[in-house]
């Protein structure tokens, strides 16, 4: 937000931009003053600045392949009294990421040649009643024996997972099993206007489900439906 104001302050003025954005002009001017004079910063912020320099140095000296854990261990070997969580937070803020062994997993593989249903949701992930809007996705978590994939169907009204399945492979069958579980548990009214919303992953297979015609579901597409779970732990905690 501060960077946005910096880029457009000459054209629109700080006060005008702050009327639109959820930030007070005094907050912006305080950030600019702190940036010009680091001595005005808090003790934690000053320490973060010094740690950022050390983190960037260790990251560059090791061919930009170290992740937060190895950078933290190197700083500890050099005598720095810093927590691993602090290194992770600062590296995330500087967009520094180590190299991960193995092939990265992809959960959305779009097929531009496949037919694309209309987006009937238009980024409005709210519903006036249960069984009016479901959105689906699947996430993955890395384990010692490979990736575990979890597909889930969420009712937008209650924000509750109504169907889910786990699998060792990202095939269409386990994704459809999650949808079938939701249909069996919730039993939506025939032609009740239920809209099922998912991404355009060509491996998902939602549009091939015969249950869509039986319960008059309307598949749609989206750009990035919330919530997105980065791993299995956050998925189970949210559930």
What's residue 172's pLDDT? 77
Rounded to 5 degrees, φ, ψ at 137 are: -165, 175
Q: What is the DSSP string of 116-154?
A: ----SSTT----SSTTSEEEEEEEEEEETTEEEEEEEEE
Q: How far apart are CA 103 and CA 229, in angstroms?
A: 20
| Structural domains of the chain ordered from first start | 2-93 (no CATH), 133-238 (3.30.420.10)
What's residue 218's pLDDT? 45
pTM of the model: 0.50
Tokens of 90: 């600062």
What's residue 7's pLDDT? 94
What's residue 49's pLDDT? 94
What's residue 198's pLDDT? 79
What's residue 214's pLDDT? 34
What's residue 192's pLDDT? 80
Strands 133-143 and 146-155: antiparallel
What's residue 143's pLDDT? 81
Q: How far apart are CA 239 and CA 235, in angstroms?
A: 6
pLDDT along the chain (239 residues), means of 10: 93 93 93 91 94 97 95 96 96 92 66 69 84 87 83 91 88 85 88 80 44 42 40 40
Strands 218-220 and 195-197: parallel
What's residue 72's pLDDT? 97
């Amino acid at each position: 937000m501060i960077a946005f104001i910096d880029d457009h302050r000459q054209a629109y003025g700080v006060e005008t931009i702050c009327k639109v954005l959820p930030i007070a002009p005094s907050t912006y001017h305080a950030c600019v003053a702190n940036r010009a004079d680091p001595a005005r910063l808090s003790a934690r912020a000053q320490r973060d600045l010094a740690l950022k320099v050390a983190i960037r140095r260790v990251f560059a000296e090791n061919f930009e392949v170290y992740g937060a854990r190895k950078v933290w261990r190197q700083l500890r070997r050099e005598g720095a009294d810093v927590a691993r969580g602090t290194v992770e937070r600062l590296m995330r803020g500087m967009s520094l990421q180590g190299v991960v062994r193995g092939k990265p997993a992809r959960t959305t593989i779009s097929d531009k040649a496949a037919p694309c249903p209309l987006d009937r949701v238009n980024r409005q992930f709210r519903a006036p009643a249960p069984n009016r809007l479901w959105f689906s996705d699947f996430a993955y978590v890395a384990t010692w024996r490979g990736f575990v994939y979890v597909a889930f169907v969420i009712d937008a009204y209650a924000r509750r997972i109504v169907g889910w399945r786990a699998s060792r492979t990202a095939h269409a069958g386990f994704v459809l099993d999650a949808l079938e579980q939701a249909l069996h548990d919730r039993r939506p009214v025939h032609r009740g206007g239920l809209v099922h919303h998912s991404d355009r992953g060509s491996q998902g297979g939602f549009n091939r489900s015969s249950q869509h015609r039986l319960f008059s579901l309307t598949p749609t597409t989206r750009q990035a439906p919330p919530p997105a779970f980065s791993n299995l732990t956050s998925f189970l905690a949210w559930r």
